[in-house]
Amino acid sequence: MSAAAEKVRIVEVGPRDGLQNEKQPVPTAVKLELIERLAAAGLRDIEATAFVSPNWVPQMGDHAEVMAGLPSAERFPGVNYPVLAPNMKGYEAAVAAGAKEVAVFAAASEAFSQKNINCSIEESITRFEPILLDARQRGVRVRGYVSCVVGCPYEGAIDPGRTAEVAQRLFELGCHEVSLGDTIGVGNPRTILAMLEAVAKRVPVEKLAGHYHDTWGMAIANIHASFQFGLRTFDSSVAGLGGCPYAKGASGNVATEEVVYLLHGLGADTGVDLDALVDCAAWIGGLLQRPPSRVAAARRAGRAANCA
């Protein structure tokens, strides 16, 4: 890899987005081993858990235990472990558990906002305000998510202007970055680019992240289009784990190993060791009985790869 390779940041969301919808209980020890293996593979932003209601998302009910078992900073210096926080209660619990970065999450669709966090978009922004205020005082970083950026399971196609407005609200509240979620993976490069054009008029492109689910197999094409548009941060989930409990039919996020393969092929530097990541994907995919992603299958079959 050349010294001038463009850096791309990958936010690994497998331990949270990847596992939140898993039907079988995943022991805390397995979550912690997953996080450890991801950090060892070179991931530097690993979304660890969610401080949401265990009645709504039982799989994230061990959030405090996960935080208590995270690898030490000496073991993996510079690794961030952001966690989801939907409201003040979740934020306070996250901070008490040692979180240094939280992610608030809104939606571009009213119906999805109601189903996911039981309030309107406007109410959700009002709930985030005190979180951002307190976080600024404590030096806690806050990431913002917008869900359903191009399509919603309840409302259908979403106008790019609606996504841009919510993204701008989150950015103006003080979120250091806004992650754009194609929650149900219905986007294609045309709709994703139309959305990015609208959002980038209101939020600087270097403050945006692409968070694309892979339901229709378009996520990698959407990442390529977004990379060419100028995005340099992408969210993904090892082994393509995941799905949203409040977005029926949504499959997992794009597999991290596929994103790494694409980006290295484009000459970018992710800092991730593809072989270690594929080993991690095989391990967790085997435990959860998931078919391997195409990159994981090809790499393990020993086929030549075009990246180092």
So which residues are the catalytic ones? 244
Tell me which residues in 55-74 interact with ligand HMG (CB under 6 A).
Answer: 56-57
Smaller CB separation from ligand HMG, 39 or 104: 104
Name the residue nearer to ligand HMG (CB basis): 142 or 244: 244
Which residue stretch of 24-32, 80-88, 263-271, 289-297 sits at the interface with ligand HMG (rule: CB under 6 A)?
Answer: 80-88
Closest Cα partner for 160 from 121, 206, 197? 197
147 part of the interface to ligand HMG, by CB under 6 A: yes
By CB under 6 A, name the one of 11, 38, 117, 164 that touches ligand HMG. Answer: 117
Residue 75 binds ligand HMG (CB under 6 A): no
Q: Measured in whole angstroms, how far is the alpha carbon of residue 119 from the centre of its chain?
A: 22
| Nearest-angstrom CA–CA distance, 217 and 224 | 13
Under the binding rule (CB under 6 A), the answer on residue 17 touching ligand HMG is yes
Residue 46 in tokens: 């690993």
Which residues touch 162 (CB under 8 Å, ≥6 apart)? 108, 109
- Partner in contact with 234, chosen from ligand HMG, Mg ion, none, beta carbon below 5 to 8 Å by kind: none
Q: Residues with Cβ < 8 Å from 196, sequence gap 6 or more?
A: 180, 205, 208, 226, 229, 231
> Which span sits near ligand HMG by CB under 6 A: 66-74, 75-83, 110-118, 223-231?
110-118
Phi, psi for 183 (deg, rounded to 5): -55, -35
CA angle 254, 258, 263 (to 5 degrees): 110
**CB of 76 or CB of 281, closer to Mg ion:** 281
d(CA 25, CA 57): 11
Q: Find the angle CA(40)-CA(93)-CA(73) to the nearest 5 degrees.
A: 25
Residue 20 interaction partner, one of Mg ion, ligand HMG, none, beta carbon < 5-8 Å per kind: ligand HMG
Size of residue set near ligand HMG by CB under 6 A: 26
Nearest in space to 227 (alpha carbons), one of 259, 272, 191: 259
> Any idea what the Cα angle at residue 103 is, between residues 166 and 290, rounded to 5°?
105
* Binding piece for Mg ion, criterion CB under 5 A, among 14-22, 90-98, 103-111, 201-209: 14-22
Does 171 bind ligand HMG (CB under 6 A)? Our answer is no
Phi, psi values for residue 179, rounded to 5°:
-100, 130
- What does 261 interact with, of ligand HMG, Mg ion, none (CB < 5 to 8 A by kind)? none
Residue number with CB closer to ligand HMG (179 or 293): 179
**Closest chain position to ligand HMG (CB):** 181
How far apart, in whole angstroms, are the C-alpha atoms of residue 139 and residue 93?
Answer: 16
Subset of residues 18 to 37 that bind ligand HMG, contact rule: CB under 6 A: 20
Q: What gap in Å lies between CA 84 and CA 144, rounded to an integer?
A: 10
222-281 binders of ligand HMG (CB under 6 A):
244-246
Least distance from C-beta 137 to Mg ion, angstroms? 29
**Structure token digits, residue 63:** 């959030």
Applying CB under 5 A, does 17 fall inside the site for Mg ion? yes
Residues that bind ligand HMG (CB under 6 A): 17, 20, 50-53, 56-57, 84, 86-87, 89-90, 105, 116-118, 145, 147, 181, 183, 211, 213, 244-246
